[in-house]
Amino acid sequence: MPATLPKCSLRRKRCNALPQSVASAIRAALLTGDPRAKCFATRAVAKDWRRGALAFAFDVAMPDAPARPERPELLAPSQMPKRGKGGSDRARIALWHSLAHIEFVAIDLALDMAGRFGDAMGAEFVSDFLAVAADEAMHFALLARKLESLGSHYGALPAHGGLWQAAHRTRHDVAARLAVVPMVLEARGLDVTPATLERVQAAGDSGGAKILARILDDEIRHVGQGTKHFLRCAEMVQANPETLWQSLVKRHFKGAIKPPFNDSARLAAGLSREFYAAVAS
Ligand SMILES: [Fe+2]
Ligand SMILES: [Fe+2]
C-alpha cells in the first residue's frame, strides 16, 4: 500500500464525513445501558469534545429516559429495605451500593444536561457538563470497584427509583433543571458526605474515606458549575437569582430542603444561605 494513504483509509467514509455532532455522541452514551460501557462512552464523549473532534451541533433529541441495566431493581424510596445494623457487612455493602447508584444516575443527569440544553446555553456549558459527566463516570467506577472488593457488585441490591424523575420534570426548562439537579440534589451530597466520610474513617476504612473525599471535592465543583450557569439564566431574564431559584424549587422539587447544611462547602460552590434559608424546612 502506498505510504501516502491516510491512516484511516480503511474507514474512508468516516474520514470524509463531517465530524460527529456532540448531541449524537451524548445520545449514544445515554442509550448505553451496561454500566461499564456507559462509563467508557461518557469518558470518550468528554475527551472527544475536549480535543475538538465533535461538532457543536444538536441534530438529534435526547431520549426521555436513559438506558439502564436490568439490575438493580428500582424501588420507591418507601419500599427500600433497611440497610441493616451499622458496621455489619450487609450495612457496608448497602451504603456503597446506594452511593454507586447515585453516581450512576449522575452520569446520565450530566449527559442529559449537556445534550438537551447545550444548544441554547453554548459551548462552555457543554464543556462544563461533559466534564461533570466524566467525573461521575469516574466516581461510579471507584464505587463499583469498592463494592467488588467487598464481594458484591452494582446491581446486587435494589436501588432508589426516583432519581431520574427530577430531571424528567424539568426537561423543558434549563433554569429549573439547574435549580433542582446541581443546586438541590448535588448540594445535598455536600451536606451528607462529610458525616459518611467520618463514619467510614472511624471504621478504619481509609480506602473508602479516600474515595469519599475525592467525590466531595468534585461535587463542590459540580454545584459551583450549576450555580454559575443558573446565575447566567437569571441574568438573561433579569431576575433576582435567589427569588428565581426559590420559585423554581417550590414548583419542581417535591422533597424537603432540610438542615443541617454544609454552609462552607455550599458557599465554596457559590450557593449562599440567601438561596436556601428561605425554603428550608
Ligand atoms: Fe459524583
Ligand atoms: Fe456530581
Tens of pLDDT, residue by residue, the chain (281 residues): 333 433 433 343 455 577 899 999 999 999 999 999 999 999 999 999 999 999 999 999 999 999 999 999 999 878 887 776 667 889 999 999 999 999 999 999 999 999 999 999 999 999 999 999 999 999 999 999 999 999 999 999 999 888 888 889 999 999 999 999 999 999 999 999 999 999 999 999 999 999 999 999 999 999 999 999 999 999 999 999 999 999 999 999 988 899 999 999 999 999 999 999 988 88
Q: Which ligand is nearest to the CA of 225?
A: 2
Predicted TM-score (pTM) of this structure = 0.92
Distance (angstroms) between ligand 1 centre and the Cα of 51 equals: 23
Q: Which ligand is nearest to the CA of 102?
A: 1
pLDDT of 198: 96
Distance (angstroms) between ligand 2 centre and the Cα of 3 equals: 47
Residue 57 DSSP symbol: -
Instruction: Look at the block and give the residue holding cell 450530566.
Output: 110
Distance (angstroms) between ligand 1 centre and the Cα of 198 equals: 18
Distance (angstroms) between ligand 1 centre and the Cα of 87 equals: 24
Cα(20)–Cα(149) distance, integer angstroms:
38
Cα(264)–Cα(281) distance, integer angstroms:
19
Cα(140)–Cα(101) distance, integer angstroms:
8
- Answer whether 110's CB lies under 8 Å from 62's CB: no
- Answer whether 211's CB lies under 8 Å from 142's CB: yes
Distance (angstroms) between ligand 1 centre and the Cα of 208 equals: 15
Q: What angle separates helix 123-149 from helix 35-50, to the nearest 10 degrees? A: 150
Distance (angstroms) between ligand 2 centre and the Cα of 106 equals: 6
pLDDT of 86: 66
- Answer whether 175's CB lies under 8 Å from 184's CB: no
Q: Which ligand is nearest to the CA of 139?
A: 1
pLDDT of 18: 75
Cα(103)–Cα(23) distance, integer angstroms:
22
Q: Which ligand is nearest to the CA of 182?
A: 2
What value does the CA radius of gyration of the chain take, rounded to a whole number of Å? 20
